[in-house]
Homo-oligomer: A and B are copies of this chain.
Amino acid sequence: MTEVHTYRPTLEQLAYTFGGNREPVLRINPGDVLRVYTEDCFGGAVRGVDDLPTQVCTFPYLNPVSGPFHVNGAEPGDTLALHFASITPARDWAVSSTFPHFGALTSTSHTATLQAPLEERVWKYDVDVAAGVVRYHARKSDFTVELPLDPMHGTVGVAPGAGESRMTIVPDAHGGNMDSPQLRAGVTVYFGVNVDGALFALGDGHCRQGAGEVTGVAVEAAMNTVVVVDLIKGVSTPWPRFESDTELMSTGSARPLEDAFRISQHDLVGWVGDLTGLEQLDAYQLVGQAGQAPVGNVCDPNYTMVASVEKAYLPRISAYQGTHDRLRGIGREHGRE
């Protein structure tokens, strides 16, 4: 029997790390549904073009997540499956910005130069869920254009292993701030479980983002999201994987960007080999000709790449014992907010 949980944190209840001391905010059984509200990456503090992030936000209180959620029975060596049944902007506006020394086309704290930062500037978007669009407004002219609404979560993950605790801004093997547009409704995400209960959390909704999140900040929005939670016992997953109705996707988060690419493609070659029985170099060859490599982010502390292949090229395979199809069914039943 599917239980449906609802969770809406106050500002004080938002979390800023994966791992650490924080008590779970809910305990959930595999198979349950979670309806969760997530605040935007600014904690809702940037509400207009005059709210500069560095003035209204305080480091490290950025990129808050809702959670952590304890999954009953989850143990190290298992895989947590989160199926995103729906992701819906909670407001009729969203914001983006430049942020000093953050983004792909600026020097940063790590790609350190002696140059002054770019100007800090905020853009406010109109969000029309019914029409399925967001509207961009230039700040220095009257140029305006509609872009497709394509809601996603930038940040989803579990507690890291080895006693680590990581800021929510960081993507790594535990997930986190992967900032990948592939993480949209209809997709199941798989994480290796590192601690009892898995302790997953999510946030950082984007109405849409470009590949690489080149400005460092997407079209940021609070979200109402429905997640179906499941557990695959005794099956490990080294790096987060995504599954849609049509694609298998592996991720890698690292620097330099080619290492994120290598991790994701390496994982996909192994996954395809496991599912199809193809010998390693045969799987490498197939992924090499059939695979895609969507760019997640090129701005966070680790960059994220996704490696994907269409299931159509892998006849008769079933990943994680058919978990995606099963959760898709539950999601269709319970998914709409």
Which residues on A are within 8 Å of B, measured CB to CB? 16-17, 19-21, 59-60, 96, 98, 103-107, 109-119, 121, 123, 134, 136, 138-141, 143, 145, 147, 161-167, 208-219, 252, 254-259, 261-263, 265-267, 269, 276-282, 284-293, 295, 298, 303, 313-315
C-alpha spacing A259/B101, complex, angstroms: 14
Interface-centre pick from A19, A115, A117, A118 (highest chain B CB count, 10 A): A115
**Would you call the interface of chain A mostly helix, strand, loop, or mixed?**
loop
The 7 closest A-B pairs by CB, nearest first: A215-B288, A60-B162, A256-B256, A211-B293, A140-B279, A257-B257, A112-B266
Complex: chain B residue closest to A167, CB-CB: B162
Chain B residue with minimal CB distance to A62?
B162
The count of identical subunits is 4
Partner of A261, one of B104, B263, B315: B104
Which of B17, B136, B315 is within 8 Å of A289, CB to CB?
B136
B293 touches A262 (CB 8 A): no
Q: How far is the CB of A99 from chain B (nearest CB, A)?
A: 12
Q: Report Cα–Cα, A111/B191, bound state, in Å.
A: 21
A-B contact pairs, 29 of them (CB 8 A): A20-B163, A60-B162, A98-B284, A105-B269, A105-B284, A107-B107, A110-B254, A110-B263, A112-B267, A113-B262, A113-B266, A114-B266, A121-B285, A136-B285, A141-B279, A141-B282, A147-B289, A163-B165, A163-B167, A164-B164, A209-B289, A214-B265, A214-B293, A254-B255, A255-B255, A256-B258, A261-B298, A293-B298, A295-B295
A259–B110 touching, CB < 8 Å: yes
Q: Is the CB of B210 within 8 A of A292?
A: yes
Shortest CB distance A268–B (Å): 9
The residues of B that contact A252 with a CB separation of less than 8 Å are 110, 112
Query: Which residues from B are CB-within-8-Å of A119?
Result: 281
Q: What's the Cα separation between A290 and B219 when bound, in Å? A: 10
Chain B hits for A219, CB < 8 A: 289
Report the separation of the CA atoms of residues A254 and B256 in the bound assembly, to the nearest whole angstrom: 10
Contact A210 B164 (CB under 8 A): no
**B165-A281 in contact (CB<8A):** no
